[in-house]
Structure 1
Amino acid sequence: MKMTSKPWKLVLTGLTALSLLAGCGSAGDTNTAGTKSTEAAAVNKEGFPIMNEPITLTMMAPDVGVQNWNDMVVLQQMEEKTSISFRYLNAPKDSFDTKKNLVFASGDYPDVFYAAGLTAAEQMNYGEQGILIPLEELIEEYAPNFKALMDEIPEIRKSITAPDGHIYSLPAVDLSQHWYRNPLWYNGDFLKALNIDKLPETTEELYTFLKRVKEEDPNGNGVADEIPISSVSTATTNARDLRTWLLGAFGVYEDEIYVDDADVVHYTPIEEGFREYLVYMNRLWKEDLLDHESFSQTAEQKKAKAQNNQVALFSDWHAYMTKGGEPSTKDPMFAPVKSDLVDKPAIAKNRGITTGAFAISATNPAPEASMRWVDYLYSYEGSLFFNKGPEGTLWEYTDEANRVKRYLSVPDGMEMEDYRATLTPNYGIPAPTINTDDISKGLKTDFDLWVEKETKEKLLDRGARPPFPALFLTVEEQTEINSLNSDLSTYVQQMEAKFITGAEPLSNWDNYLNTMKKMGADRVVEIYQGAYDRWKSS
């Protein structure tokens, strides 16, 4: 999935969502598992065009509202290249899941689902019902690029194979983005004002830094208005932007489920490391080092404080997106710290696989052609085409043999990402493709290269690894997990805020644990351990 250099634009303009409950399917016989399509003989197994005679299929996909898909040059040229055209059944990104559920319930399906974010439960459910067809035989025969990718990275096959042995969807694979979630960033101006040239490496050193921010007026306005560390909350998460990076100081990789180096699954809210994280955060709260609005404020409110030069440590995609202004190398990335409980911090990184990105329905009259179409997106050429648009529009080669490129001028004074969004559907959605460093070779700015260096030094060189693989639960396991989490997640969210703010004393931790176990916390561990063991041995 392409991550943009600015927040995705969600203003719904231009494209009105087409009716998704009528006319989704294409004409043709229903395909069932193992049945060859009547179109198979007309499909060229390699090269272009894919079809000797043009065909039209339907595609359901989310839309971020900045361009009509029919006008995108990538899709227009793809139609010319393949002789496959699509009727696009788009729904706004923020309501796409609702529309998707309605389509599955309607019995009238699009031929393919693109960037659909199909959950493991949806893949299992609709795959077992025969609505989504198994893809493994099509991959073997019609997807050499994706097959080679699975051979190169075995985790991909394991992560997209359902417990019944079938593959019901293809993933988005990103081998260039290593962040698990948005990093934390230090305010470089504060570091300079405090004469700090070595970032904190332990929780105590971090505490000392935050204390100095509070007491030594690093913004120089003569007022004690500095906020050492600030966070935001949403309807389903408390301060997750901080928790992601501070849990590691206590040996915990992730705030829900993670697996340790001994392949033992842990449910974080009942771990001792989670308790120690709460103790530390409560200490920051009591000393007014953690913003007291962290459990109520929005991202915009946090940014307003940062742009008033008040915040020392915060989370965002890049520091300038919170502080305002242009990209700058003066605000260093947070280096995960360690507590006395561990020898080194636990550091999570992106697993690089987002499942459920592309699926083919049983009513698709040309599944072979559909597989060949999407397989192109897993090649370097196809990924570059869908990521950056055609050569000569946004970019051009300076050294094609070594895949080095340069950007061209953007027309009409548009911002580059705004312009790119008009060229390709791969903008702000989990599109089926592979993203590698080669795609952006030669296109990275000095700032991009600095961020890569920070990421390597602060995360990758220090042992970052994925906390938990993408994997399937059985239908029964998923049903049970959904039921357990409906109560557990709410309780954990409430108690975390209470423990940190002191509304609930940490002396009541044992009572909290007993309640969690009565609500099924141990069963959560048991289910995920079984699923992980299946994944590991598959």
Structure 2
Amino acid sequence: MKKRRIALLLSLIMTTTALAGCGSTGGSGNGGSASGSGSEVVDVNSEFKLPLTDEKETITVFMPNDPTAMAKNGGDYNNNPYFQELEERTNVHIEWQVPAAQTESEQFNLLFTSGELPDLMYYSQTGNIVYKDGLDAAVDDGYFLDLTDFLPKYAPHYLAALESASENVQKAAVTDEGRYVQIYSVLQTSQPSFFGYVVRQDWLDECGLDTPETYEDWENMLKTFKDKYGAAAPLSTVPTWLWNLGYGMGVYNITDFYQEDGKVKQALLDEPEKVRQFLTLLNRWYEEGLLDPDFASETNFWGNSVLMANNSTGVTCTMYTMPSALFLPSMNDDNASFSAIKYPVENRGDELKAGYVVPDTTNSWVISADCKNPELILKWIDYMYTEEGALFANYGKEGETFNMVDGKPVYTDVISNNADGLSYDEAMRLYTYVPSWPGVSYDWERELQFVSEDDFNMCYVWDDFDHEATYYPSYASLNLEETSEYSDIFSDLSTYIQENLLSFVTGSKSLDEYDEFIETVKSMNLERVVELKQSALDRFNN
């Protein structure tokens, strides 16, 4: 299967070259028929022609609510200078369909009962914005368009980006049935792990403590922070990141799944005693006031700046940009500083076999099977993969938001020192293609213009682990039958697991009941869910 998928990708690229060799120099105009016959062909090696259409065309797009961008653009993405310029260049107007924040998954599902799908739709496994029966079923049910025959003609630059992408992205781009249905963003260069735990380095120094390595070091550090500084929450993070502290004990993805040598595992089934040991540790930290008493309801995924500002916490999990951008500006202590620390291990020198693996790509576009002009939409997307389009998407308009300096794009004050008081993140969401959106050749290194070398070096600390040892690829997808069975079992089971884990940590449920918990988990068919995940992984690997 792996060879067949890569061969299919290469054949699409070669088809593009062969078609281009027939003398077509197209790239503008309205495109051809839905079958693609007799349509213009875009040569990946030729100049991309703008505008894409002589007469202005409108496409409808379902897009999640980006609260930052929406708050700054009057509630309409078309007020973003970036999309205004994009419309000027392409002659394509976007009619946005943006649901209220936190309702995206629900509203996406309602699209399929409305009888009218937008032309282009955001699709995300991580955001649960998906067709419940899978991509192939969405094509077979008449909702999504199979793009396999369209991409060589109308998105050759995207195919070229795929050709140079990682093997995981190449496999993820094709469904189990060998179709191209999604269009991803593709990273221009690989990115090291960009989130992990940070510590108040100034506190470590004042207390004469070395960088913590073991669980014993961590416990001593947290106790010292509590005693010396009166920290009410020496360790503060959301439950999702808290569970990652089990990595050094061999407790991987406690609420989800992992793999070792191609075999899918679940910690509660395969390492129940290690999980017991881990929960016992967290319960002790909670009882001794070393863990934020409100961690179970914490929602600040990148760290609670309020707790940082009032010196209530000394360790949290965050992104490498956050200490300087979020924490330090809210603090009154001019001596405050932060450093990255690795997940704790049991013994000094132990190798970590898990960490945050930056996905090569995540969210994607899908096109409605009812779309009347998919050719135009694909050209519109493909523009973001051309040299000019990618530069525009990542940096905005030359002379306004960036200038070329020694051959490299450098942001102007519109982004880096905005006169209206916008942070660089806010400015980028208005003047460039919104970060994390699909369908672009993404230059993540643009962020480095706003990050100190010390802050970026945090990534290398967090990136020091075996990336392949336990990582279950998010691209390994369930088929139609598996998806239905998986949902029937795991929706209730996942809730049960997470609720009990929290109860064991807080002590509202005694660890004396742990064995009963494990037996209940088994009785709820967790083993069958592992089998389903194994089938998906086998297909992905083979």
Does TM, scored on the shorter chain, surpass 0.5? yes
Name structure 1 gaps, 5 residues minimum.
Answer: 1-27, 233-238
Once the two structures are superposed, residues 499-528 of structure 1 have per-residue CA deviations (whole angstroms, 9 ceiling, x without a partner) of: 223343334333222111110111111110
Contact 1:259 1:467 in 2 (8 A): yes
The residue aligned with 2:215 is 203
Shift of 1:425: 4.9
Q: Distance in 2 between matches of 1:81 and 1:289?
A: 56
Name structure 2 gaps, 5 residues minimum.
Answer: 1-29
Counterparts of 1:94-493 in structure 2, within 5 Å, are: 94-114=102-122, 118-119=129-130, 121=132, 123-152=135-164, 153-174=166-187, 175=189, 177-179=191-193, 182-196=195-209, 198-215=210-227, 217=228, 219=229, 224-232=230-238, 239-244=239-244, 246-272=245-271, 273-297=274-298, 299=300, 302-317=304-319, 318-320=322-324, 321-322=326-327, 324-325=329-330, 330-340=337-347, 343-400=350-407, 403-409=408-414, 410-427=418-435, 430-437=437-444, 439=446, 444-447=449-452, 449-456=453-460, 458-465=461-468, 467-469=471-473, 470-493=475-498
Shift of 1:356: 4.7
3-state SS of 2:121 partner:
strand
3-state SS of 1:512 partner:
helix
Q: Which amino acid aligns with 1:276?
A: Q
Shift of 1:186: 0.7
Shift of 1:438: 5.1
**TM-score of the pair, normalised by structure 1:** 0.80
Q: Which amino acid aligns with 1:119?
A: V
Counterparts of 1:37-116 in structure 2, within 5 Å, are: 37=36, 41=39, 44-45=42-43, 47-49=48-50, 51=52, 53-54=54-55, 55-64=57-66, 65=70, 66-67=72-73, 68-114=76-122
Contact 2:63 2:122 in 1 (8 A): yes
Distance change (3 Å), C-alpha of 1:404 and 1:485: same
Once the two structures are superposed, residues 349-383 of structure 1 have per-residue CA deviations (whole angstroms, 9 ceiling, x without a partner) of: 23424445211112222222221221222345423
Once the two structures are superposed, residues 232-258 of structure 1 have per-residue CA deviations (whole angstroms, 9 ceiling, x without a partner) of: 4xxxxxx222222x0211124423334
Shift of 1:309: 0.9
Q: Distance in 2 between matches of 1:115 and 1:495?
A: 31
Once the two structures are superposed, residues 223-277 of structure 1 have per-residue CA deviations (whole angstroms, 9 ceiling, x without a partner) of: x454321234xxxxxx222222x02111244233343441221123334243332
Q: Which amino acid aligns with 2:186?
A: V
Q: Distance in 1 between matches of 2:278 and 2:385?
A: 41
Distance change (3 Å), C-alpha of 1:329 and 1:431: farther
Shift of 1:393: 1.9
Shift of 1:532: 0.3
3-state SS of 2:372 partner:
coil
The residue aligned with 2:13 is none
Moved more, 301-310 or 524-533: 301-310
Q: Distance in 2 between matches of 1:183 and 1:310?
A: 19
Q: Distance in 2 between matches of 1:199 and 1:341?
A: 12
Q: Percent identity?
A: 24
Contact 1:119 1:356 in 2 (8 A): no
What do you get for the CA RMSD once the two structures are aligned?
3.2
Contact 1:258 1:266 in 2 (8 A): yes
3-state SS of 1:88 partner:
strand
Distance change (3 Å), C-alpha of 1:313 and 1:355: closer
Q: Which amino acid aligns with 1:193?
A: E
3-state SS of 1:514 partner:
helix
